[in-house]
Structure 1
Amino acid sequence: MDDLADLARSLVEKAQPRKRKLEMTQLGSLINPGLDDIDARANRPPGISTGYTEVDAILGGLRPKQLVTVAGATGMGKSIALVDMARHIAIKSRLKVAFFTFEMSNNEVFDRILAAQSKVPHRLIRDGLLDQEDWRRINSKIGPMSNAPLFLTDKAPMRVADIRGHCMRQQDGPGLDVVFVDHMHLTYPSSPRIVDRTAIMADVSPALKLLGMELDVPVVAAAQLNRGPSARLDKTPELTDLKGSSSIEQDSNVVILLHRPDYYDKDSPRRGEVDFVIAKNRNGETGTVTMAAQLHLSRFVDMSTD
């Protein structure tokens, strides 16, 4: 009889829903580690440097779990900005970078990095028109590039799931600190049934955001602007000019809009300048940083450096 009672109790217990362990964090438990972390921030860099001093001052560098969108019209310099930041992070800061290029080949990215590093015009490198002095300058800069932890892939098309797979393998292997995607509008949606441009961006943008959250690294992605700025008297881009979907603005922690006045007016008194319009910054202030656009060297530099 006792055995039957024990069996009955056992069956009742199995039928009842089990209490799940509380996986949420009580505020009070955050106090001590939180205060310790705040105290330690004064003695460590706030984030990964982009290589642009004033941009870093506003953003505090690139931070883990952030989606940073660099947007601009065609020809404004989105790819230059992404390659330039990746170059600085990998070669100067020696941090591990995964760079996904859907607009250029790996060799084209190499040419741009070589031009920026050596200060030999990109056109001469592209066409092989190098003299002895050019080769001397190139050879003097090859050393730091040879073992830079910058990992490129020009394989396309790719979905965010494919990007994730590459990043997971790199994180398990050489390691991973930052992900660059050039660019968002050339990334494929999760399903071939998603064909509408707005729906594609509503699929890709949050997936890139979640990728950074999962990997605990910043994800920096280029994005296209629509033709809004060219139709206005004031050509300065705005958040509403992001092409395809409002989800890009919603998902991004930071949105940087590129603007070159001489793109629209060749006789502009600001010829050779580029504005990094920080139009959204979820963790701080917004603002505009003006830098020198050294397009012949495939790079942007601080005005003070220039």
Structure 2
Amino acid sequence: MGLIPFTNYETELWVVGAMLKNKDAIDTIQTIVTPDDFYFSDVKYLFVESMELHNSDRLDGRTLMQWMRQKGFEQADELIADALNAVPVPRMAKEYAEQVSMLSMKRKAMKLSQQLVELVNDTEDMDVSKFMSEVSGMVGDMDSSRGGNMVSARTYFRKYIKEKEVKKTVNSPKFGLADMDAWSRGILKKQLIVVAGRPGTGKTAFTLQVQENISSQGYGAVPVFSMEMGNDELIDRVTSNKTGIPFSKLKHNDLTAEEWKLVKAVEPKINETFYLDDKPKMDLGYITSQCRQLKRKHKQIGSIMIDYLGLMEMHKKKGETVSEATGNITKALKQLARELDTSIFLLVQMNREIEKRSAKRPVLSDLRDSGSIEQDADMVIFLHKDDEKSDAKMSHIDLIVAKGRNTGVRDFELSFLVEIQRMVTKAVIAPGAR
């Protein structure tokens, strides 16, 4: 096989080999390369068939071999064996995919440069506007193989009307707090929902309660990614909330025989679609991969909880600030919510400026790295503790919807029963949206 500029047969084969040996990396790979990035037709075909089996959770070497044989690919056995044997380090799947993607872009750039030279030599009768339009179109075409989403508005309207006629109302997951659900009419999909508050205001308790409640509503998988608390503590909180047994007693395993009966009765009340992940170090790629796997398994995602933004691994580029890296994460999470057709609850910290003010009511600028978070969030919820109305067993919490792209803004009063980690509606402060 002669040398062809910006191609590497081995690297393309490594990508598929890494997919077969490290299935956890496949969701990351498919965000980096498309079939059109593969130059060699046999490897491209192998990649396409591997992805088809992966999307139905059937991908392994033997199944892929049988699958390709059935489709009449005579060299299937040899090609799959080559892919499995060739890959040097399966865990470097992401790096291999990036190399294939870069080679693909270089080939496109080389083709583009040739087209530009031809255009430059053929511009005698072309005005500046048309010339720039031609150049812009060529540059845009470099990445056109990755697919577009352009659709005729009239065509989409027909589809939209048919869906509306079949299903008159849109059902959404509920928060589980009556007044808030009545006002918001549930949690819309494709939303990034930020939950913020100072320590002790019940951010985790509130969001965990909402997620557990959603898991019982039949909207698919509900994963909780916790980088601050372990699964034991999360389950203690859920159990305390459901049984009324003090959280501290569960934490220290100090239970009476009667309380043990209550604890054991909780198991059937916890839905199989409720997932916990307490891996200490998580990055965006890991969370994305896990969510996509759950989407394939359960067909839909009810909602996602990430606790919390400040503990996520940030892969900062050279010269990039923390604020810029944070912005990249919130943008990607918003895109993930759209891709998975779900809502993502993202817990974030507040900066300390609020402590310096006489008025303690949180505002959007109190979010740490507030610019990107405020911009990307569809809804921002602040939990604010009113010390004058609180006591040792019950904290008065003002739930402040400071931003609601689809709902508007509004305040609610909650009682946080600290001892049993339960949030309950107390009253509505504002009779209508402010």
Distance of aligned partners of 1:139 and 1:285 in 2 relative to their CA distance in 1, 3 Å threshold: same
Pair 1:127 & 2:252 matched? yes
Q: Specify every segment of 5 or more residues in structure 2 that has no aligned partner in the other structure, as ranges.
A: 1-114, 119-137, 428-434
Residue 272 of structure 2 aligns with which residue?
148
TM-score (norm 2): 0.60
Shift of 1:23: 4.7
Number of residue pairs matched by the alignment: 285
Residue 240 of structure 1 aligns with which residue?
365
3-state DSSP of counterpart to 1:272: strand
The CA deviation string for residues 87-146 of structure 1, in whole angstroms up to 9 with x for no partner, is 11124557420110011001110110000011111011111111123223223333212x
Pair 1:297 & 2:420 matched? yes
TM-score (norm 1): 0.83
Distance of aligned partners of 1:196 and 1:96 in 2 relative to their CA distance in 1, 3 Å threshold: same
Bigger drift between 181-190 and 86-95 goes to: 86-95
Residue 229 of structure 2 aligns with which residue?
104
Q: Which has the higher contact order (CA 8 A, sep 6+)?
A: 1
Shift of 1:192: 6.5
Distance 2:353 2:182 in 1: 29
Residue 10 of structure 1 aligns with which residue?
none
Pair 1:157 & 2:281 matched? yes
Is the CA contact (8 Å cut-off) linking 1:202 and 1:245 kept in structure 2? no
Shift of 1:200: 2.8
Shift of 1:76: 1.6
Q: How does 1:190-201 map to 2 (within 5 A)?
A: 190-191=315-316, 193=318, 196-201=321-326
Q: Which amino acid aligns with 1:128?
A: N
3-state DSSP of counterpart to 1:204: helix
Residue 218 of structure 1 aligns with which residue?
343
Residue 306 of structure 2 aligns with which residue?
181
Query: After TM superposition, where is structure 1 displaced by more than 6 Å over at least 4 residues in a row?
Result: 15-22
Larger % of helix: which? 2
Pair 1:287 & 2:413 matched? no
Distance of aligned partners of 1:195 and 1:156 in 2 relative to their CA distance in 1, 3 Å threshold: farther
What percentage of residue pairs aligned between the two structures are identical? 25
Is the CA contact (8 Å cut-off) linking 2:316 and 2:322 kept in structure 1? no
The CA deviation string for residues 239-270 of structure 1, in whole angstroms up to 9 with x for no partner, is 110012410000000110111102xx4768xx
Residue 356 of structure 2 aligns with which residue?
231
Q: Specify every segment of 5 or more residues in structure 1 that has no aligned partner in the other structure, as ranges.
A: 1-14
Shift of 1:227: 1.6
Is the CA contact (8 Å cut-off) linking 2:221 and 2:295 kept in structure 1? no
Distance 2:415 2:390 in 1: 16
Distance 2:421 2:204 in 1: 9
Bigger drift between 204-213 and 186-195 goes to: 186-195
3-state DSSP of counterpart to 1:173: helix
Choose 1 or 2 for highest CA Rg.
2
Distance 2:236 2:317 in 1: 34
Bigger drift between 116-125 and 166-175 goes to: 166-175
Is the CA contact (8 Å cut-off) linking 2:316 and 2:325 kept in structure 1? no
3-state DSSP of counterpart to 2:265: helix
Q: Which amino acid aligns with 1:160?
A: L
Q: Which amino acid aligns with 1:299?
A: R
Q: Which amino acid aligns with 2:415?
A: A
Distance of aligned partners of 1:82 and 1:302 in 2 relative to their CA distance in 1, 3 Å threshold: same
